[in-house]
C-alpha cells in the first residue's frame, strides 16, 4: 500500500513538471513586430520615433494605430463610416455635432505613453492620410483634451490590417 501511495505521488509530480515545461514559452516562439515604416511624433515635450502601424475596421469605422519604439507609445486615430483604410484630410468634430460629416471630419483618437498609460483623448486637430502604392503617409496635428498639450507628427509605411 505504501508503494502505491509513493507511485501516485511520483506520477503527480512528473505530470506537474511536464505540464509546466510544456507551457514555457521558448525565445524562438516570441513574436517581435517587424519595423515597416518610419516617422515620429511630439507630445509632452518629447519626440517619439515610430516604426510600425496597423488598423482595424470595426462598426463601420477605421481605427488607425501608429506605434513608437516602446510598447507604451501609441497614437490612435478614428475615422467614421469607412469600409477600408481611410484616405483624405479630416478635421476633428464630435460625431454628436449636427455638422459632423464623415467625408470631412474624424471623430477622435488618443495618445498613450508611459507617463499616461490611460489614453488621452484628442479634442481638436487635423489629420491627413495619403496612399502611394502599398504605403501610406499619415500626418496629424492635434490638441489633447483638458490642456493635455499638442500632438504632432507623421508616419510613412505599410499598415497591417488587424
pLDDT at 116: 81
pLDDT digits (tens, 9 = 90+) for 54-85: 999 999 999 999 999 998 999 999 999 999 99
Q: What is the mean pLDDT of the chain?
A: 84
Q: What average pLDDT score do residues 133-147 get?
A: 95
Q: Please check whether residue 124 is in contact with residue 135, taking contact to mean a CB–CB distance below 8 angstroms.
A: no
Q: Give residue 85's pLDDT.
A: 96
Angle at 154 between CA 76 and CA 129, to 5 degrees: 70
Tell me how far apart the alpha carbons of residues 118 and 106 are, in angstroms, rounded to a whole number.
21
Instruction: Output the CA torsion sign for 101, 105, 106, 107.
Output: negative
**122-137 pLDDT tens trace:** 999 999 999 999 999 9
Residues 6+ apart with CB under 8 A from 58: none
Report yes or no: 51 and 42 within 8 Å, Cβ to Cβ.
no
Question: Which of 3-17, 62-76, 79-93 has the weakest average pLDDT?
Answer: 3-17
Share of the chain above pLDDT 70, in %: 78
Instruction: Enumerate the domain spans of the chain.
Output: 36-161
Amino acid at each position: 500500500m505504501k508503494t502505491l501511495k509513493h507511485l501516485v505521488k511520483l506520477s503527480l509530480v512528473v505530470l506537474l513538471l511536464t505540464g509546466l515545461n510544456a507551457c514555457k514559452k521558448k525565445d524562438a516562439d516570441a513574436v517581435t513586430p517587424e519595423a515597416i515604416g518610419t516617422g515620429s511624433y511630439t507630445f509632452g515635450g518629447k519626440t517619439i520615433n515610430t516604426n510600425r502601424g496597423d488598423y482595424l475596421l470595426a462598426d463601420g469605422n477605421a481605427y488607425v494605430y501608429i506605434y513608437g519604439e516602446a510598447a507604451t507609445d501609441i497614437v490612435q486615430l478614428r475615422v467614421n463610416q469607412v469600409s477600408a483604410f481611410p484616405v483624405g484630410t479630416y478635421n476633428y468634430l464630435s460625431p454628436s455635432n449636427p455638422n459632423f460629416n464623415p467625408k470631412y471630419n474624424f471623430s477622435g483618437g488618443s495618445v498613450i505613453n508611459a507617463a499616461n498609460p490611460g489614453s488621452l483623448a484628442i479634442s481638436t486637430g487635423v489629420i491627413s492620410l495619403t496612399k502611394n502604392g502599398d504605403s501610406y503617409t499619415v500626418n496629424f496635428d492635434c490638441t489633447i483634451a483638458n490642456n493635455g498639450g499638442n500632438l504632432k507628427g507623421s508616419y510613412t509605411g505599410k499598415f497591417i490590417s488587424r
